[in-house]
Amino acid sequence: LLNKVLFSQPESAEALLLVGQIYLVRGDQNQADKDFSHALTADPANLQALAYVYEKALNDNNSKYASCS
């Protein structure tokens, strides 16, 4: 179902967030990072994506990652 949403609306921040969360649960951190970053690009005011990106940056001590917003 999410694939259908993303196919028809590839910039759906909500769908990208859900897909990112699925990848997190499956342990695929790299793909989750991409999906959360893409969600933030699609909707820069998305609080879930912002929280993920900044928490990731703080945990990794990586200011470059935080600048993707």
Cα distance from N-terminal residue to C-terminal residue, the chain: 28
Contact 32, 23 (CB under 8 A): yes
| Better pLDDT: 2 or 67 | 2
Tell me: the pLDDT tens digits for 8-67? 888 889 999 999 999 999 999 999 999 999 999 999 999 998 998 888 888 887 655 555
- As a whole number of angstroms, the distance between CA 58 and CA 44 comes to 19
Residue 69 pLDDT greater than 60, yes or no: no
Query: Of 44, 57, 49, 9, whose CA–CA distance to 32 is shortest?
Result: 49
Q: What is the pLDDT of residue 62?
A: 64
Residue 3 pLDDT greater than 90, yes or no: no
Q: What is the pLDDT of residue 23?
A: 92
Contact 9, 21 (CB under 8 A): no
